[in-house]
Structure 1
């Protein structure tokens, strides 16, 4: 299993110790991943800088598009290896790894490959005589891509694909918890003919990410992860070279279930939307606002559905709830469950670590939750659901749902189209899902309001993250 750094077209050993990568289903070490030194980070950024004026910069758009299409083909050719590796390292169900992570990664490269030949400027009717004014979209330069541990392959793909489509070079820093599919994707880029220096990967802990955040040689940094780390990156960027930032940060998605909702569909959808990947999804539904007319029925059916889920390792096709990513993260989740109990919420089901090897926790449902409870305010990133009641007044429930520092995603469950639009329009959130799961698509912009981040990834909006607009003035008069 490849665990080395990739710098300027060469696989090299990390020079600063190593970090163990664990199988969350068993707690066993599956790889020792070497960490990059500060010198190696410098070398990767230097290689990326030099690549901007080399072979990569001189490719015609159709040639660069062909490279991205080739990457997509190779992801599909190695789909089962990618899926098994993602499940082994991250713990997600094998069906999710195949259908969401791997398929999504290939789809992102194909989508942005199609953009390569369509990145256009404009001509503008300026008020100067005998002057032509036009704009060009040019690569922003060297991009640091820092990715999280929950969907390491797909989230890297939705950063790397538009970065390459727009002619940039990159230095990738995956989470130290789940680096293996990121390393595999870099292997695929090499096989697809990406020139040396264009794609580099440096592995390690938070200190490696901090080096990239403060490095004067990085022009743009795209980060997905926690809000506190996003704030630290922002300070580092401001204190160094004021590099551009794209930040997709924390979430605490509300889900509003109105009296007109089909309760059985709402329960099934909210279980799926809350417990996908054991709740380790930035857009996972975690705060449930349920109309008092259907509250008791919803809580009973939600708890029953959660308690009946088949628990097991991700590589078991029957598993519906798989382990959380690490012992450390398991402790974070169980601490917040204890806070829910101590702060007076009613534990309806779950609430304990499961007594088996690996990092498993019961799907947990609390009712009677107060908005000031820790479980209602803090990002848990695990299978813990908080149910609150409202009395049918839409303005009230919209205000309560918006009363959060986060604004990444939200959900509405209703059979009334006018009601759905009124609620969706009132929610301060980057994405609102009506009667469906919170799964992004490569053609739709993704990002948050408030402390859920800056900028948008995916869709045409992603092109803006990885390009600069140059205005050219050409005076042709005497």
Structure 2
């Protein structure tokens, strides 16, 4: 029996999939059944697209101040239902409750920010031709889609949905099959906030359902947050269908560079938090650490001391720092990397699964003496595993940090301001922290990656604009 709502949300109503097909969602902590979740197939996606097409023109014609007012009401409802939203993410993917509550807070604040941007949409004017007044217009795409991951279900939901509907689009969102519960509830809250049926709809499923969205001929833009391999598939499907606009926020293997002149205790504390936050299931996690050789011995002691302070346990407990991996599949994947790390190097701390805590728990692990070509050093693990390397000099640090296909987040620690700025400029990443590490960010600034870490940007003061198309209009007033 389902403990939580698992149906689709289409045209303002909760609906079972037309086929009646479901998939089970189990607790990552104890394996109990949480919900039988409806799996959307082609006819369900088509129904959502049809409802979106009917609702979107009137929604786009609604004054921006009215769209913004509904977004503010939606933000109020997020706040009112904060405890429930946090609980849905905690039970579904094992996120510690304190982190889940913080995610909801940011989702609320981001929604308020998007409401303000909704009212500030402007174009350009040109008077370069004496007989013309030429202008640009920003117009919504129409029916758009989003596929979000399981590691920040509530937060990333708002990153796509709120600017998209603020711009006048109708959104069809697929939450991850590993953590779909909050997506369904947020769709219901949109309806309660007064968004017309068809403007925000939720379909559930795995990669096959996502493929239906990315290949659909009547969806004009799609945003995806997830792995680089899945992003490639979505981009290919978008190109082969109707060449829909694509935005991708993909994986990372973020470098963290610590110079000997840095506050080593501060750097060690933030480095430890970065690679263990959300049990390491963060695309920006600083999982490649480069410490200047002259400070390596001292830094390693400080890092181990910081890691030892973390508590693994029940994510609903306020004292828990690390919950489980999201499911058995992810736990087994991380364990394989532990095997590789023990073979290729040595563990300064950890190195084993935390089977004494539960079946899906991983002890925070720091590997050293790894080659640059080790899979632990090069591949995204999505677990609390750090590869620690040493470097000689500034250029060596930059070269090693940039030796990756990814470019999502990078960090440099140094008390030499000139050096910190030089290195920050040289690091190939969409976001660079100076004396601060991920997951630190600011929703009022753009976020996205270089290289294989993505295309386009989320958040920032152009977030609503990114969900519009630009049209140029020439107005001749003399002839």
TM-score (norm 1): 0.97
SS in structure 1 of the partner of residue 28 of structure 2: coil
Among 58, 62, 72, the alignment partner of 2:61 is 58
Equivalent residues of 2:118, 2:464 under 8 A apart: no
Aligned positions, number: 473
Could you tell me which residue of structure 2 aligns to residue 162 of structure 1? Answer: 163
Q: Distance in 1 between matches of 2:384 and 2:358?
A: 18
Q: Distance in 2 between matches of 1:249 and 1:453?
A: 5
Instruction: Report Cα offsets for 1:2-57 as digits up to 9, x if no partner.
Output: 21111112211023421111222222221111101210101111211221222x22
1:353-392 map, 5 Å: 353-355=353-355, 356-391=357-392
Equivalent residues of 1:347, 1:365 under 8 A apart: yes
Instruction: Report Cα offsets for 1:248-281 as digits up to 9, x if no partner.
Output: 0010000000001111111111111111101111
Could you tell me which residue of structure 1 aligns to residue 192 of structure 2? Answer: 191
Could you tell me which residue of structure 1 aligns to residue 400 of structure 2? Answer: 400
2:22 equivalent to 1:21: no
2:86 equivalent to 1:93: no
Equivalent residues of 2:366, 2:386 under 8 A apart: yes
Q: Distance in 2 between matches of 1:417 and 1:274?
A: 25
1:142-181 map, 5 Å: 142-181=143-182
Q: Distance in 2 between matches of 1:398 and 1:102?
A: 36
Instruction: Report Cα offsets for 1:374-411 as digits up to 9, x if no partner.
Output: 100000011001100001x1112101100100000011
SS in structure 1 of the partner of residue 274 of structure 2: helix
Could you tell me which residue of structure 1 aligns to residue 442 of structure 2? Answer: 441
Equivalent residues of 1:299, 1:367 under 8 A apart: no
Gaps of 5+ in 2: none
Q: Distance in 1 between matches of 2:60 and 2:338?
A: 52
Q: Distance in 1 between matches of 2:465 and 2:331?
A: 37
TM-score (norm 2): 0.97
Could you tell me which residue of structure 2 aligns to residue 221 of structure 1? Answer: 222
Q: Distance in 1 between matches of 2:437 and 2:117?
A: 27
Could you tell me which residue of structure 1 aligns to residue 127 of structure 2? Answer: 125
Gaps of 5+ in 1: none
Aligned-pair CA distance for 1:358: 4.2
Equivalent residues of 1:27, 1:357 under 8 A apart: no
SS in structure 2 of the partner of residue 255 of structure 1: strand
Equivalent residues of 1:226, 1:249 under 8 A apart: yes
Q: Distance in 2 between matches of 1:245 and 1:460?
A: 19
2:296 equivalent to 1:292: no
Which moves more between the two structures, 334-343 or 141-150?
334-343
Instruction: Report Cα offsets for 1:439-461 as digits up to 9, x if no partner.
Output: 33220100000000000000123
2:240 equivalent to 1:239: yes
2:265 equivalent to 1:264: yes
Equivalent residues of 2:167, 2:465 under 8 A apart: no
2:454 equivalent to 1:453: yes
Could you tell me which residue of structure 2 aligns to residue 112 of structure 1? Answer: 114
Equivalent residues of 1:83, 1:97 under 8 A apart: yes
SS in structure 1 of the partner of residue 126 of structure 2: coil
1:296-315 map, 5 Å: 296-315=297-316
Instruction: Report Cα offsets for 1:78-106 as digits up to 9, x if no partner.
Output: 1111111111111111111112x100110
Equivalent residues of 2:60, 2:167 under 8 A apart: no
Q: Distance in 1 between matches of 2:218 and 2:455?
A: 21
Q: Distance in 1 between matches of 2:370 and 2:259?
A: 18
Equivalent residues of 1:27, 1:359 under 8 A apart: no
Q: Distance in 1 between matches of 2:473 and 2:456?
A: 26
Q: Distance in 2 between matches of 1:461 and 1:409?
A: 20
Instruction: Report Cα offsets for 1:148-182 as digits up to 9, x if no partner.
Output: 01101101111111101111111000100000011
Q: Distance in 2 between matches of 1:80 and 1:11?
A: 22
Q: Distance in 1 between matches of 2:237 and 2:436?
A: 38
Q: Distance in 1 between matches of 2:249 and 2:465?
A: 15
Instruction: Report Cα offsets for 1:278-301 as digits up to 9, x if no partner.
Output: 111110010000000111111222
Q: Distance in 2 between matches of 1:199 and 1:81?
A: 20
Equivalent residues of 2:29, 2:360 under 8 A apart: yes
Equivalent residues of 2:257, 2:291 under 8 A apart: yes
Q: Distance in 1 between matches of 2:136 and 2:99?
A: 42
Q: Distance in 2 between matches of 1:291 and 1:75?
A: 45
Among 74, 85, 109, the alignment partner of 1:71 is 74
Which moves more between the two structures, 374-383 or 25-34?
25-34
Instruction: Report Cα offsets for 1:358-377 as digits up to 9, x if no partner.
Output: 41011111011221111000
Q: Distance in 2 between matches of 1:361 and 1:340?
A: 14
Q: Distance in 2 between matches of 1:155 and 1:421?
A: 30
Aligned-pair CA distance for 1:336: 0.9
Q: Distance in 2 between matches of 1:160 and 1:210?
A: 19
2:39 equivalent to 1:35: yes
SS in structure 2 of the partner of residue 119 of structure 1: coil
Q: Distance in 1 between matches of 2:276 and 2:100?
A: 15
Among 84, 87, 111, the alignment partner of 2:87 is 84
Which moves more between the two structures, 38-47 or 303-312?
303-312
Could you tell me which residue of structure 1 aligns to residue 6 of structure 2? Answer: 3
Q: Distance in 2 between matches of 1:460 and 1:470?
A: 20
